[in-house]
Amino acid sequence: MEHYEETHTTWNSIAQCYEDMFMDLEIYNDSYNRFCELLPNDKAPILEIGCGPGNITKYLLQKHPNYQILATDVAPNMISLAQKNVPNARFQQLDGRHLHTISETFHGIMCGFTIPYLSPQDTDQLIKNAHILLQPRGVLYLSFVSGNDTESGFISGSTGERTYFYYHDTTTIKKTLTTQGFQSIEHFEIPYKRSEDVTEMHTILLAQK
């Protein structure tokens, strides 16, 4: 789909800008810590979908250096930055719609703000694939902005380049998780200040297989 192509091109183009803005953002750390608490041990294999410049990967490995992390992103420039920032993780260029190509299984799957760039149908498929890739009692982390899909559309950043942003209904995502076989679901809401005048709520769900 054309809007995916434009979004992926934009992510590749703004990789350095994204690193400068979000590499050290701390507001989600409590949710990352909870994700770690739900994993069975300090050597857990983890898949990250949409790793960007490696900000979440870096945080997880600072807390638990023995995690075995395979971090993926669709943008090659993001992967290059992530390899520089987190040399002790494995990285692979991969579209989040193609999880079926991964043959490994994991104790945890980290998906931080990837589904805002996936359609509802592709998000459903990601959740289905994640369930297949997770070992028993495995944990899936999802973050997004809750809203009506009719509000989805292109947004432009400071560079003028566009990404197609999808809003997802929290109740629908929870229903999909349950339908696909996830048992326990924890729900967090985190305020994110976009500007001096605008604060939006970011939704985080932790689902255990």
DSSP string, 148-173: -GGG-EEEE-TTS-EEEE--B-HHHH
**pTM for this prediction:** 0.97
Q: What is the average pLDDT across 7-29?
A: 95
Residue 156: partners with Cβ closer than 8 Å, 6 or more residues away: 162
Q: Render pLDDT for 90-112 as a digit per residue (tens, 0 to 9).
A: 999 999 999 999 999 999 999 99
Structure confidence at residue 1 (pLDDT): 67
User: What is the rounded distance in angstroms from the CA atom of residue 17 to the CA atom of residue 52?
Assistant: 11
CATH fold label, 2-208? Rossmann fold (3.40.50)
Bridge partners, 146 (sequence order): 168
Q: Render pLDDT for 131-179 as a digit per residue (tens, 0 to 9).
A: 999 999 999 999 999 999 999 999 998 788 999 999 999 999 999 999 9
Question: Residue 196 pLDDT > 90, yes or no?
Answer: no
